[in-house]
Amino acid sequence: MAKIHICFVWHMHQPFYKDLISGEYHLPWTRMHALKDYYGMVKILEEFPNVHQTFNLVPSMMVQIQEYADGAAADPFLRVALKPAEDLTEDDKRFLLRYFFQAHPARMIRRYPRYGELFDSWQGSGQDFNRARQLLHPQAMRDLQVLSQLAWFDEEFLHNDPEVIRLVRKGSDYSHDDQALMGRKQREICGKVFPVYREFAQRGQIEISTTPFYHPILPLLCDSQIAAVAHPGVPLPTPFRYPEDARHQLRTAREYMTREFGVAPVGLWPSEGSVSDQALALAAEEGFQWAATDNGVLSRTLGRTAGTDETCRTYNWSQEGRNMRMIFRDHYLSDLVGFVYSRMGATEAASHFLERIRENCAPFLHRGESPMVPVILDGENAWEHFDQSGRPFLRELYRRISESSDMAAVTVSEAHQAIPPRTLTRIFPGSWINSNFDIWIGAQEDNRAWEMLLEARQTYDQVVNSAEGKKLSEEKRKLAFEELLIAEGSDWCWWYGPEHFSDNAPEFDRLFRSHLANVYHALGKAPPDELSRPILVTLSAADHTPPSSILSPRIDGNNSSYFEWMGAGCYKPDRRQSAMHGAESPLVQLLYGSDRDHLYLRLDLTELEPGLRIHLTFDTYECDLTLGQPAPAPILFACQKIVEIRIPLALVRRSPADLPRLQFSLWRGALPLDAIPSEGSLELLTADHHEWAV
């Protein structure tokens, strides 16, 4: 009987944060996600034995986890978290306040009342150390040290580990013994990661695939000029052509995974789904049997839009006797999980997901064919935005799949066994993001990074092949090459260019340059001066300008006159992405202002789509406005070329002394598209609160 085969591929990855010369881990995120995601994402499957999945593990991440489990990894974040609060220096306290609130405020920080209280105090101080004196006494510091770590603990331990449960229930007033217990539990949890993958792989419930060792963009290592195929005319740096490095990254990844898990992986998620004919040929030669990328790449390969009929199939890429089985990520369904469902209830999200799958696959089943639905996404970063790290959603989803008669969750290899492939004789060179390589090359910062990498790579070749290089110890030569391989990783250029933002971007910049500097140090050379200077250019975040005059625009949905919105307040959202790459916000800008009686809002959207719903939330009022439909009284609402709204001020604030606080979200049907701002509310300055109106 025909059945829907759902292939979940969870990609587990963090950058390589360790400096090989100093031994220091510069950022804590591998450890933090080891506490929250890597173990629990597999362990939850124990409740659903018929749900099979594929986990893609990046070797450079696994090396770091093992060092944390062995107690061999040191990072400044963990050191400060474990230091007795009474011994904290002023620099330590500044470090704590700067970095230890780096968690989702609603889902992670406010889940713990004392942590939320400390966060509010820090925000209330304007994030000014000198104004945050109430946070600096030892008990407040220790509570922050403990709770900032507990917030990352996996649901499995929060609900089932008696020692962790006791720490959570205590809630505040933690002791030094509590602090030490928190540190011991971290190492213990890290130590459970490898065993749980081995256990579930041995029982056949999961398949383990991998990625080139340090997560490089393989096609760009082979030939950086290939970026021009997907984006003709893109400015590119001096060509970087080292296919031997790409092969080495593939080979060492497969060797490492075989050594650690006892079985050679047959599957490959090439970093960021980045493929080319040359990259696939190398992977096939190194023993990989299947690979995956995005259906945007499939569209460009086929020369037409890859809809459900094309996406829900397996393929066989074949060139010159080399073969690679392929699946192509359902971009829409995967992004629903990664970027949308966190803003919905667990039952509602699971229902929507499976309804879309059944709707998409109905023509296959009607023909008596079994479709394959490839859902491939980051297995860690998304869960920070979900209630309880997404476990209620996953349980509801897995339960429904387990109880259904028309679908099954299978590994990628199981899907290939069940579904005959179509043939591909070529692959379009691109990644899962826009079917090109623009995230990693082409922008000024990206290109500068590639030039620095190329210079270091050429220096390595010159030295090791020279008479001077013959005197270089094997240890130093290996160290220099390993640092080059690390610098080839995709993560550094992820943060260069205009697309992404992180509070840790300066640290990523310094870490990339330190890896390159280490190449020169290992070779006995002085690093170039340019490695001492940042590559990163400071980027602007969300822009909020208050109003400068009284407004009274005509609400007709048209930009009737430039002058009617002159002097309006303006909010422009941050167009950059964070660690996850999702769809851009449809909001271009929000203009607002007021007269004595009314608040006026104007939304400029990239597309005025009939049926698009705007949900407005104030402290005292909320409503839905749908494009093409009338507004509820007493709201005045119009949309032609722009969206214009008039709301009585008395409706949206408790008293004339208060300022309206607004959050609004945009919805397409049952799916949330965006929330503005992503955290908190916008405080809207009104005419009766400004000197120009007095």
In this predicted model, what pLDDT tens digit does every residue of 149-176 receive, in sequence order?
Answer: 999 999 999 999 999 999 999 999 999 9
Which range, of 253-257, 583-587, 627-631, averages the lowest pLDDT?
583-587
pLDDT higher than 50, residue 231: yes
pLDDT tens-place string over residues 309-348: 999 999 999 999 999 999 999 999 999 999 899 999 999 9
Q: What average pLDDT does this structure show over 187-216?
A: 97
The owner of tokens 């260069």 is: 496
Contact 283, 250 (CB under 8 A): yes
% of residues, the chain, pLDDT over 90: 72
Cβ of 317: how many Cβ atoms within 10 Å? 24
Q: Which of 430, 435, 341, 357 is nearest to 394 (CA)?
A: 341
Which range, of 131-145, 462-476, 556-570, averages the lowest pLDDT?
556-570
CA–CA dist 384, 155 (Å, integer)? 12
Secondary structure element (H or E) that encloses residue 171, with its range = none
Which tokens go with 456? 């270091």
CA–CA dist 243, 228 (Å, integer)? 18
Contact 7, 412 (CB under 8 A): yes
Could you give the angle at the alpha carbon of 277 between the alpha carbons of 430 and 8, nearest 5°?
Answer: 60
Cβ of 284: how many Cβ atoms within 10 Å? 22
Contact 129, 121 (CB under 8 A): no
Which range, of 122-131, 326-335, 565-574, 610-619, averages the lowest pLDDT?
565-574
| 498 vs 438, more confident | 438
Query: Which amino acid belongs to residue 536?
Result: L
Q: Which of 333, 306, 308, 328 is nearest to 317 (CA)?
A: 328
The distance from CA 163 to its chain's CA centroid, rounded to whole angstroms, is 31
Q: Is 61 helix (H, G, I), strand (E, B) or coil?
A: helix
Question: For residue 677, is the peptide bond before it cis, meaning its omega torsion is within 30 degrees of 0?
Answer: yes
Cα–Cα distances (Å) from 238 to 161, 235, 245, 306, 623, in that order, read: 54, 10, 17, 34, 55
Indicate the length of the chain as a whole number: 694
What pLDDT band is residue 596 in, cutting at 50, 70 and 90? Answer: confident
pLDDT tens-place string over residues 517-538: 999 999 999 998 888 888 887 5
pLDDT of residue 585: 66
DSSP state of 627: T
pLDDT of residue 656: 83
Cα–Cα distances (Å) from 331 to 335, 336, 376, in that order, read: 6, 9, 8
pLDDT of residue 686: 84
Pairing type for strands 598-605 and 587-594 reads antiparallel
Q: Which of 320, 241, 242, 230 is nearest to 284 (CA)?
A: 320
Q: What average pLDDT does this structure show over 346-355?
A: 97
CA–CA dist 242, 321 (Å, integer)? 23
pLDDT higher than 80, residue 214: yes
pLDDT of residue 4: 98
CA–CA dist 380, 37 (Å, integer)? 6
Q: Which of 694, 593, 688, 590 is nearest to 647 (CA)?
A: 593
Contact 390, 10 (CB under 8 A): no
Cα–Cα distances (Å) from 312 to 330, 339, 351, 405, 533, in that order, read: 8, 21, 20, 19, 48
pLDDT tens-place string over residues 90-104: 999 999 999 999 999
Domains of the chain: 444-532 (1.20.1430), 543-693 (2.60.40)
What pLDDT band is residue 574 in, cutting at 50, 70 and 90? Answer: low
Cα–Cα distances (Å) from 680 to 53, 87, 273, 580, in that order, read: 36, 34, 34, 20
CA–CA dist 249, 256 (Å, integer)? 11
Strands (E) in 560-656, as ranges, are 569-572, 587-594, 598-605, 613-617, 622-626, 636-639, 643-648
Angle between helices 59-70 and 176-190 (to 10 degrees): 140
pLDDT higher than 50, residue 12: yes
